């Protein structure tokens, strides 16, 4: 079921969005060469407790997960792109790290993700390829958000994302994509990262969506790591992921999880 939020409810969702942005910024600032993924999870967990927020991940146990997630952030490194289960790993110079984070504050959920390269990232083909991949997910996210307007349909968001990906030479996996957000992390409608403009559910003021382009460098196929969660590219190529929770209004969409 697709639920529309009143302007007042969207205002009530702002603190969750701001908090998600704060945590992602803090985690990003803490991710240095040598930082352990478990330390990043602990940092986010501490912030959740201090804020009195509620993790959407720790008890999360959908059909595609082997067991409850048990952590509060997703940390996907290099060939991992989604659902990376934080584990005992110290970040290395040049690692491409994607952090995904969803939390409930006062009963409203916000969900956001960001990718970046850890360390000094010296000039190299590798660094240039990573920068292009990350930037493409960010530009695709901006294009998807720009299409999130009344009068458009879900397919317009999907088509806008896909156009950016294809123009940059990436193929698209539609197994996982964006979704409605509200009292829970995943609601209707599904927002695929590829689709046909003018098709699908009509966008209306009050629709709150997580839009989340993610691309792999040279494949669109993934497999599940033996940890039961982490999704990796089948060819070892790197992945990147950008996500915001947005609210559709009569005017420009509100990016609830915008970071400074």
What is the DSSP secondary structure assignment for residue 152, as one 8-state letter?
B
Shortest distance, position 222 Cβ to Mg ion, whole Å = 16
Note whether 112 and 25 are within 8 A (CB). Answer: no
What is the DSSP secondary structure assignment for residue 235, as one 8-state letter?
T
Shortest distance, position 83 Cβ to Mg ion, whole Å = 9
Shortest distance, position 91 Cβ to Mg ion, whole Å = 20
Question: Looking at 95-103, 126-134, 168-176, 224-232, which segment touches Mg ion (CB under 5 A)?
Answer: 95-103
Q: Which of 190, 23, 2, 217 is nearest to 111 (CA)?
A: 23
Nearer to Mg ion by Cβ, of 112 and 136: the residue is 112
Question: Which three-class secondary structure state does DSSP give residue 11?
Answer: helix
Q: Please state, in angstroms and as integers, the Cα–Cα distance from residue 186 to each residue in 70, 135, 179, 235, 236, following that order.
A: 18, 26, 6, 29, 28
Confirm or reject binding of residue 100 to Mg ion (CB under 5 A). yes
Shortest distance, position 252 Cβ to Mg ion, whole Å = 22
Q: Please state, in angstroms and as integers, the Cα–Cα distance from residue 162 to each residue in 91, 95, 136, 169, 241, following that order.
A: 31, 26, 10, 10, 14
In the region spanning residues 145 to 174, those forming contacts with Mg ion, defined by CB under 5 A, are none
Nearer to Mg ion by Cβ, of 113 and 159: the residue is 113
Nearer to Mg ion by Cβ, of 178 and 253: the residue is 178
Nearer to Mg ion by Cβ, of 33 and 154: the residue is 154
Nearer to Mg ion by Cβ, of 149 and 186: the residue is 186
Q: How many helices (H) and strands (E) does the chain have?
A: 4, 14
Nearer to Mg ion by Cβ, of 55 and 196: the residue is 55
Residues 221-250 as x/- pattern, contact with Mg ion by CB under 5 A: ----------------------x-------
Note whether 18 and 108 are within 8 A (CB). Answer: no
Between CA 212 and CA 193 the distance in angstroms is 8
Shortest distance, position 101 Cβ to Mg ion, whole Å = 7
Shortest distance, position 158 Cβ to Mg ion, whole Å = 17
Between CA 132 and CA 193 the distance in angstroms is 18
In the region spanning residues 73 to 92, those forming contacts with Mg ion, defined by CB under 5 A, are none
Nearer to Mg ion by Cβ, of 41 and 111: the residue is 111
**Bridge partners for 233 per DSSP:** 222
Count interface residues toward Mg ion (CB under 5 A): 4
User: Sign of torsion, CA 129 130 133 139?
Assistant: negative
Shortest distance, position 198 Cβ to Mg ion, whole Å = 27
Nearer to Mg ion by Cβ, of 111 and 142: the residue is 111
Shortest distance, position 241 Cβ to Mg ion, whole Å = 8
**Bridge partners for 29 per DSSP:** none
Chain residues in the site for Mg ion (CB under 5 A):
100, 111, 113, 243
């Amino acid at each position: 079921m697709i639920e529309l939020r009143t302007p007042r409810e969207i205002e009530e969702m702002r603190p969750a969005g701001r908090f998600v942005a704060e945590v992602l910024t803090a985690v990003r600032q803490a991710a240095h060469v040598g930082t352990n993924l478990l330390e990043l999870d602990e940092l986010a967990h501490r912030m959740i407790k201090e804020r009195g927020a509620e993790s959407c991940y720790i008890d999360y146990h959908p059909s595609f997960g082997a067991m409850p997630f048990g952590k509060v952030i997703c940390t996907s490194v290099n060939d991992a792109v989604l659902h990376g289960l934080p584990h005992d790993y110290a970040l290395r110079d040049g690692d491409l790290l994607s952090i995904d984070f969803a939390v409930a504050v006062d009963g409203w959920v916000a969900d956001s993700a960001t990718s970046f390269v850890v360390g000094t990232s010296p000039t190299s083909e590798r660094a240039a390829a990573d920068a292009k991949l990350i930037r493409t997910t960010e530009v695709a996210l901006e294009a998807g958000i720009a299409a999130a307007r009344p009068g458009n349909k879900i397919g317009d968001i999907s088509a806008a994302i896909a156009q950016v990906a294809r123009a940059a030479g990436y193929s698209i996996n539609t197994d996982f994509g964006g979704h409605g957000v509200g009292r829970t992390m995943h609601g209707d409608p599904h927002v695929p990262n590829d689709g046909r403009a003018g098709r699908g559910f009509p966008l209306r003021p009050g629709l709150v969506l997580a839009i989340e382009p993610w691309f792999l460098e040279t494949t669109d196929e993934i497999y599940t790591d033996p940890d039961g969660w982490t999704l990796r590219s089948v060819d070892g190529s790197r992945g990147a992921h950008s996500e915001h929770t947005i609210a559709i209004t009569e005017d420009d969409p509100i990016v609830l999880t915008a970071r400074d």
